[in-house]
Amino acid sequence: MKVAIIGRGFGASAMKPAFEMHDWQVEIVPSRDMAAVEAACAGDADLIAVHSPPFQHKDHVLAALA
């Protein structure tokens, strides 16, 4: 399973180790870099985990759904 985590705070510190416990491949995507977010969402990730600041959730979820 490939996971892209959007957000380098809680997502990186808490969620990354949790996903890696299951031997999943994890990519951390900086939430401020919308081009990186869009690239990760268009890539081959099986799961997009949005752990960005709340004011960015809408844009990140819409990118994941696109």
pLDDT score of 58: 98
- CA atoms of 50 and 6, how far apart (whole Å): 5
| 66 CB-near residues (< 8 Å, 6+ apart) | 38, 41, 42
10-residue mean pLDDT profile of the chain (66 residues): values are: 96 93 97 97 96 96 96
pLDDT score of 51: 96
